[in-house]
């Protein structure tokens, strides 16, 4: 009866008369974009990219649609992958190291493999290339989102877990009512970072050169690549101006409403006086017809809750020590056999293509890039951890800085490459030193966004308790702020490190017109091998990069992660 009464058709108000045409316009734009994806295309053809600023609105629409599609795919992947890794310790042993590998694979590695595959699925159409670009942007967004949700699920406070058992929530209810809402603040900030950070790689995704052949699709990324190739400063200016407008729009229309809506998921028992606000969300709340849209998902949710039985009050019987040892022995035994088999195959294949001197040289290049990554992440942490805490503790400041932070995160460092090339050539600077900051320009924001998200999620009662006990200055930071944001910082640092490794393929080879500077490093090795079509070297470089990333994560970052789970939970 309650649902039937809520379905009584209301009369539209003024807000509906504005909202409904806007929603219809969105559907029209989706149809327009879908029609543009299916134009005829064959490998070897070139798609004309115009440098006219009048084409930028259309290019911006194409690029944003690809990035939104990639974000939707990333969320779907994150919900399944992170949940399985957090809830099954055997799956965790495989999925988290695999995530390290996937994060370390450069975007050029994904593109060089997937472009021809997607094109084979859609012969004679541009859809294959479009899907390859979406997949490449997906690979630049999804890993930090997965780490963020995994971190939230593994640091769930004990009192919430006890409350779920007391109310006999089944697995479905527990995830949607407790675990996911608790993880929403960190996941949301990482989603915003993914959307913004994807701009850094959009140039490489929308205009890629494989085996001497350039494959490009219309978009801001291909427009920027054309401007850099033609040394067109005017076109670069118009691209930056367009990005400012686009970032402002999706911040105002999408992320600001989501931040305001997600504030209700903060884990606290006392509310802050200042809450994030959104004019768009307030406008939607005042509509009548548009609010009917949520009734169907709500009805489906209530039906799913009623269909699934509540959890039994009995405690699950844990396996005995002998059963656990037997299962662990079988699991690790299978992994050891697979690992040894893989080593055996590599030992047979690698000597056919490379000498040991070549392999040693690639490992040396990896060590050089690893040193750059470590120093850059350390410097970024020293700068952005205190800044992120200050921003996250002030809701008004968070709202003001959010758009600026997203623009800085979205600003493609590629646009600064010409300036770096000119400075290096003019002042005869060391290439190996002065291209290093370009590696962290895009990924440093992972640290800032994760720290802001963690500081925003600090419970209000803990902050009030700190004020009651008179904690100030360094003592407040030591006892509350730094431990409170530590899990978020570790997540941000892991993804920033992986992002810096990935960015090395762009930052260690910089060009402006006919001038190209190459730094010593593994990223430059992979980039040059990709451009010349030497796929064996690309595979070797990606394998060595993955090995470095996994080693650093296993022996450094994962230990910090476990410390965050044990010592810095909000219990």
Can you tell me the mean pLDDT for 90-116? 76
Most confident range (mean pLDDT) of 114-123, 318-327, 484-493 is 484-493
What confidence score (pLDDT) does residue 416 get?
Answer: 72
Average pLDDT over residues 16-42: 73
Measure Cα distances from 410 to 193, 198, 442 in Å: 8, 7, 8
Residue 519 pairs in a beta bridge with: none
423-433: average pLDDT:
83
| Most confident segment among 106-120, 145-159, 465-479 | 145-159
- Binned at pLDDT 50, 70 and 90, residue 274 comes out as low
Q: Which of 265, 154, 275, 175 is nearest to 571 (CA)?
A: 154
Tokens of residue 47, six digits: 């798609």
pLDDT for 264: 72
pLDDT value for 480: 80
Q: What local confidence, expressed as pLDDT, does residue 511 receive?
A: 74
pLDDT of residue 273: 46
Give residue 494's pLDDT band: very low, low, confident or very high (50, 70, 90): confident
Q: Taking 90 as the threshold, does the pLDDT of residue 104 lie above it?
A: no
What is the mean pLDDT of the segment spanning 256-285?
70
Cα–Cα distance between 449 and 429 in angstroms, integer?
32
Return the top range by mean pLDDT from 60-74, 127-141, 170-184, 526-540: 60-74
Distance CA 560, CA 234 (A): 46
What secondary structure, in 3-state letters, does 65-84 show?
HHHHHHHHHHHHHHHHHHHH
Cα 540-542-544 angle, rounded to 5 deg: 70
User: What dihedral angle (degrees, nearest 10) is formed by the CA atoms of 377, 383, 388, 390?
Assistant: 160
Strands 207-210 and 213-216: antiparallel
Residue 75: the pLDDT is: 92
At 440-449, the pLDDT tens digits run 877 788 788 7
Tokens describing residue 131: 């899907």
Name the pLDDT band for 476 (thresholds 50, 70, 90).
confident
Q: Considering only 30-34, 169-173, 188-192, 341-345, which range has the smallest mean pLDDT?
A: 30-34
Strands 509-512 and 207-210: unpaired
Cβ neighbours of 431 (radius 10 Å): 18
Q: How far is 195 from 403, CA to CA, in rounded Å?
A: 13
For residue 235 the two structure tokens come to 């076109």
The mean per-residue pLDDT over the stretch 515-536 comes to 82
CA distance linking residue 548 with residue 552, whole number of Å? 6
pLDDT at position 112: 66
Please, what is the average pLDDT of the chain?
78
pLDDT band, residue 536 (cuts 50/70/90): confident
The whole-number pLDDT of residue 319 equals 66
Query: Nearest to residue 155, comparing CAs of 236, 320, 267?
Result: 267
pLDDT tens profile 1-14: 444 444 456 677 77
Evaluate if residue 520 carries a pLDDT over 70: yes
pLDDT score for 8 = 56
Greatest CA separation found in the chain? 78
What is the helix (H) or strand (E) element at residue 138, kind and residue range? helix 127-154
Residues 314 and 413: their CA atoms lie apart, in Å, by 56
Cα 297 to Cα 299: distance, rounded to the nearest angstrom: 5
Residue 144 scores a pLDDT above 90: no
Cβ-proximal residues to 153 (8 Å cutoff; 6+ apart), any chain: 82, 83, 86, 87, 179, 183
What pLDDT, on the 0 to 100 scale, is given for residue 314?
56
- Whether the pLDDT of residue 312 is over 70: the answer is no
User: Of all residues in the chain, what percent carry a pLDDT higher than 90?
Assistant: 7
Alpha-carbon distance values, 456 to 155, 263, 362, 384, 441 (Å): 16, 9, 42, 15, 24
Tokens of 62: 């194409």
Whole-number Å distance between alpha carbons of 140 and 313: 43
């Amino acid at each position: 009866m309650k649902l039937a009464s809520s379905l009584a058709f209301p009369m539209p108000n003024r807000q509906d008369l504005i909202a409904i045409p806007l929603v219809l316009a969105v559907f029209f734009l989706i149809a327009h974009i879908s029609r543009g994806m299916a134009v005829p295309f064959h490998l070897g053809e070139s798609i004309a990219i115009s440098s006219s600023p009048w084409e930028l609105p259309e290019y911006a629409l194409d690029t944003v649609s690809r990035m939104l599609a990639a974000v939707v795919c990333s969320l779907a992947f994150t919900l399944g992958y992170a949940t399985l890794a957090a809830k099954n310790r055997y799956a965790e042993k495989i999925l988290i190291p695999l995530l390290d590998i996937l994060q370390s694979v450069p975007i050029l590695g994904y593109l060089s493999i997937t472009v021809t595959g997607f094109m084979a699925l859609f012969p004679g159409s541009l859809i294959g290339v479009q899907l390859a670009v979406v997949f490449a942007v997906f690979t630049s967004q999804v890993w930090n989102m997965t780490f963020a949700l995994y971190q939230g699920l593994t640091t769930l406070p004990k009192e919430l877990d006890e409350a779920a058992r007391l109310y006999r929530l089944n697995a479905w209810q527990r995830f949607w009512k407790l675990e996911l809402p608790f993880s929403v603040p960190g996941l949301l900030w990482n989603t915003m970072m993914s959307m913004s950070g994807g701009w850094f790689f959009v140039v490489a995704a929308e205009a890629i050169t494989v085996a001497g052949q350039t494959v490009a699709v219309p978009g801001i990324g291909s427009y920027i690549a054309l401007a850099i190739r033609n040394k067109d400063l005017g076109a670069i200016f118009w691209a930056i101006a367009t990005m400012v407008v686009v970032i402002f729009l999706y911040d105002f229309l999408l992320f600001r409403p989501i931040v305001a809506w997600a504030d209700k998921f903060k884990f606290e028992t006392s509310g802050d006086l200042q809450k994030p606000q959104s004019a768009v969300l307030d406008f939607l709340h005042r509509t009548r017809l548009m609010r009917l849209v949520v009734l169907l998902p709500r009805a489906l949710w209530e039906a799913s809750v009623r269909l699934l039985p509540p959890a039994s009050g009995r405690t699950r019987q844990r396996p005995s020590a002998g059963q656990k040892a037997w299962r662990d022995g079988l699991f690790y035994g299978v992994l050891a056999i697979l690992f040894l088999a893989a080593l055996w195959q590599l030992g047979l294949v690698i000597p056919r293509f490379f000498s040991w001197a070549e392999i040693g040289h690639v490992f040396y290049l990896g060590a050089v890039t690893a040193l750059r990554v470590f120093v850059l992440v350390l410097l970024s942490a020293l700068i952005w951890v205190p800044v992120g805490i200050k921003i996250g503790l002030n809701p008004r400041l968070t709202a003001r800085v959010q758009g600026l932070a997203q623009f800085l995160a979205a600003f493609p460092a590629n646009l600064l490459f010409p300036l770096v090339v000119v400075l290096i050539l003019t002042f005869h600077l060391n290439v190996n030193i002065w291209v290093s900051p370009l590696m962290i320009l895009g990924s440093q924001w992972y640290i800032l966004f994760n720290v802001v998200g963690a500081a925003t999620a600090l419970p209000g009662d803990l902050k009030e308790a700190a004020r009651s006990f008179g904690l100030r200055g360094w003592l407040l930071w030591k006892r509350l702020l730094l431990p409170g944001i530590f899990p978020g910082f570790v997540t941000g640092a892991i993804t920033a490190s992986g992002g810096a490794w990935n960015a090395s393929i762009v930052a260690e080879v910089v060009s402006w017109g006919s001038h190209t500077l190459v730094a010593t490093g593994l990223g430059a090795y992979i980039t040059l091998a990709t451009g010349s079509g030497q796929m064996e070297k690309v595979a070797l470089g990606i394998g060595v990069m993955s090995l470095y990333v996994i080693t650093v994560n296993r022996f450094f970052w994962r230990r910090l992660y476990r410390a965050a789970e044990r010592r810095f939970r909000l219990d």
